[in-house]
Amino acid sequence: MIDKDVTIQKRIDMDLLSRSMTGVVVYALLIPVVFWPFDFYQLQPMLSTIFAVGMFFTSILRMIHRVFTERLYQYSAKLWRLLFMSLSLCHAGILGAFFVFSIYDERFTPILHVTMLAMGGISSGAVVALIPRIKFSLVNLSVLLIPSIVAGVIINEKLPYAGMIAVYFGFIAMMGVRSSKEYIRSFEIELMLDEQKNELERHGKIDALTNIYNRGYFNIELEKQWEYASRLNLRLSLLLIDVDHFKAFNDNYGHLIGDACLVHIAEIINQVAQRETDLAARFGGEEFVLLILENDSDEAEKIAEVLRKKIENSPFHVDGKSFPVTVSIGVASIQPSHNIDSRQLIEYSDLALYKAKHEGRNLVKIHTN
């Protein structure tokens, strides 16, 4: 789930970058700090220069990578990761070589103890910084320490060093894996909480029976669309839909069949509400609404007539039985403005619906001012 979430993957990558930047600065200064106090740069000027320049230059490249992160990541997240990992491994490779020389080359004996301390600190710090990508963290740790372990095995008198480093490698690796699981778990919990929040929000605006929007959500959206239409000088139309003779239908066939009828009607209304701005909702009981933005009354009437005929020609079926059903629809259209209350649109639709029912039902009637 987390692997497929692009937003979370970017957050993990940006956290990875943020965690590693302290190390980038430290790496730029580490070699001189180790060499200079012990006058090692005077004893081995060539080696000192090679390691110091290599670390400093790689740090500069990583800082440039940091500066262009937003553009680069937007262009290609894979390319961003490739560059990040390549530069990180360059640092690890230089340090891994430095550790090998410091432990097994007699020229580095004056700085052996401080190098061992640096090895422990850098290895643990690198694992912690790269925990968001634990597989890469372990690769990085391997580049840092495994060369020293291998060299110690080859050089017999240095075998105790190799054993000590190997034990430390295993310990740090296990701690890193454990910490990574806790890190990833925090995102899993966040996703779970987001899903629960979305589900609660969904239940708050969806009618439990018909699975379309409820009256409360319709009221909120009506005000939003009213304000939007008012700013852009658009018309707003409302279809108020009532299931004909629904009380008698419930009495004759029972409430379960009545519920199935409402679900059937809601599905057809949803089919007719095809535009993104169309809003279908259960208004209450056997009444539904369809809110349509940027339509004049003629267009709204055509949509209403299509809906009425579709319901009339689509009896619903329960347990092998067919039940015909019809609806009456009242239509009103208004050019919203701040001088008109949005409830007036509902009132006009209700007046048109009353007229449709009064004139025999299964009709579409338009309110005219």
Residue in the block written with tokens 């190799």 = 162
Please state, in angstroms and rounded to a whole number, the distance separating the CA atoms of residues 322 and 267.
17
Q: What single DSSP character describes residue 340? A: S
- Of 13, 23, 18, 4, the closest CA to residue 133 belongs to 13
Residue 241 pairs with which residues in a beta bridge? 288, 329
Q: Which residues pair with 239 in a beta bridge?
A: 290, 331
Whether 286 is catalytic is yes
Q: Exposed, middle or buried: residue 22 (CB in 10 Å: 0-12, 13-18, 19+)?
A: exposed
3-state secondary structure at position 366 = strand
Burial of 46 (0-12, 13-18, 19+ CB in 10 A): exposed
Kindly provide the b/e burial profile for residues 338-355, where b requires at least 16 CB atoms within 10 angstroms of the residue's own CB.
eeeebeebbebbbebbbe
3-class SS of residue 187? helix
Please state, in angstroms and rounded to a whole number, the distance separating the CA atoms of residues 306 and 319.
28
Q: What is the dihedral of CA 356, 357, 362, 365, to 10 degrees?
A: 10
State the DSSP code for 272: H
**Collapsing DSSP states into helix, strand and coil, what is residue 291?**
strand
Q: Which of 286, 287, 294, 305 is catalytic?
A: 286
Q: Over the Cα atoms of the chain, what is R_g? A: 36
Give the residue numbers marked as catalytic. Answer: 286
